[in-house]
Amino acid sequence: MIERYTRPAMGRIWSDEHRYETWLQVELLACEAQRDLGRIPAEAVEVIKAKAGFDIKRIEEIEAEVRHDVIAFLTSVAEHVGPESRYIHLGMTSYDMSDTALGLRLKEAGELLLEGLDSLREAVGKRAVEHKDTICVGRTHGVHAEPTTFGLKLSVYYDELRRHRQRLTDAIGDVAAGKISGAVGTFAHLEPEVEAYVCKNLGLDPAPASTQILQRDRHAYFLSVLAGIGTTVGKLATEIRNLQRTEILEVEEGFKKGQKGSSAMPHKRNPIVCERVTGMARLLLGWALVGFENVALWHERDLTNSAPERVILPDSCIALDYMLAKMTDVVDGMVVYPEQMRTNLEATGGLIFSQEVLLALVNKGMTREEAYDVVQENAMEARDKKEKTFRELIDMDSRVTERLSADEIEACFEARRHLSHVDTILGRVGLH
């Protein structure tokens, strides 16, 4: 991922330096485990732990010649350790070390993403409570439907992010796994106790069965969850972008002093962060698809997953980390315009209360079919001719007035009647 979208803590997890640090952790723990089993002299392990290190530039030099990154790393470590290095990587294959270390880094990245997810959800929840009674029009198919509140709109995202948190927790548990079972997963040259020791000390679960690698369904699931979170973040960004349209302008991204919206048009204030986040969500979807394509490998393993994973695993984590942080800032700083919401609510002259009139007529004995025809006739005349509002036409229609009193008609056009369960809904999602 380019530096523009990389935040320091997540970038550190996916740096070359940290990759080699986690590789070395695995190797040192494996030495300790084999010491406890009597396969490596205790004094040799002490030397290894005291001297073990690596040099990134040296690793790159060696890899250019041997064309194998793990061998290059082990050679660099051996140059630091000396003769006792012969005990390092004993009985192991490359992916015993690198896949186990990858599980550790994915766990670290996932836990950082959980923090970002919690921050965004907290911000959404705070604004939902703040605007629980801020009435606005609900839209279906992009067309005015019935009244809702801005807080209720946000409560949907709050609950959706809760579901994503559970999915991410599950995915972290799935991908936080290790394997040190040898070239084809048979433990031919070391004991299962080595794997158990290493994984326990890294906070990972040993894979119950493995080949040369951990199976990639774990990683595909992790990537799919990240993509799912990204789609919800993009969905929230898309809603804000739509509500910022000039013709609507109910919500707006914060616009800081000194900020410029356009190189050509000084009046512009564009939802640039939301647009950026929406675009980045598409990347996560693409990378998740590659993750699923990595599941089917030849026999006990092949390398077709290796190159893609060097891109899709770090970049998915880095991108979502950035998206969560940016959308948290957007939600915290977004400007809400309740007066414009009320103006838009009233823009159709009461058309949004058509179902209320329909139900009132049905409750007074009119068949649903007849009531629907009466209400629709008035609604379409108001909509198409624009000579009188829907409310005015209803007040003039004898088919309505002979069944409904003036007070009953007035009640049909009261937005608050639609919002009596706001507190119930917010309570059901955990907001009060």
Report the catalytic residues. Answer: 141, 262
Token reading at 387: 């000579």
Decide the pairing of beta strands 205-206 and 177-178. Answer: parallel
Distance, in Å, from the CA atom of 98 to the CA atom of 20, rounded to the nearest integer, reads 9
Distance, in Å, from the CA atom of 124 to the CA atom of 306, rounded to the nearest integer, reads 38
The structure tokens 């959404």 sit at 124
Q: In the beta sheet, which residues pair with residue 299? A: none
What is the phi-psi region of residue 318: left when phi exceeds 0, alpha when psi lies from -120 to 50, beta otherwise? alpha
Distance, in Å, from the CA atom of 212 to the CA atom of 180, rounded to the nearest integer, reads 9
What is the phi-psi region of residue 75: left when phi exceeds 0, alpha when psi lies from -120 to 50, beta otherwise? alpha
Q: Residue 214 — φ and ψ, nearest 5°?
A: -70, 145
CB 21 within 8 A of CB 53: no
Q: Which among 227, 201, 232 is positioned nearest to 104, based on CA atoms?
A: 201
CB 280 within 8 A of CB 190: no
Token reading at 141: 């198919």
Instruction: Please give the torsion angle defined by the CA atoms of residues 392, 397, 398 and 402, in that order, rounded to the nearest 10 degrees.
Output: -60
CB 253 within 8 A of CB 245: no
> Can you give the length of the chain in residues?
432
- Three-state secondary structure of 74-119: HHHHHHHHCHHHHHCCCCCCHHHHHHHHHHHHHHHHHHHHHHHHHH
CB 404 within 8 A of CB 398: no
The alpha carbons of the chain give a radius of gyration, in whole angstroms, of: 30
Question: What crossing angle do the helices spanning 217-243 and 94-130 adopt, rounded to 10°?
Answer: 30
Distance, in Å, from the CA atom of 232 to the CA atom of 281, rounded to the nearest integer, reads 9
Amino acid at 246: T
The helix (H) or strand (E) run that includes residue 177 is: strand 177-178
CA 238 to chain centre: 15
Q: Which among 137, 116, 149 is positioned nearest to 349, based on CA atoms?
A: 137
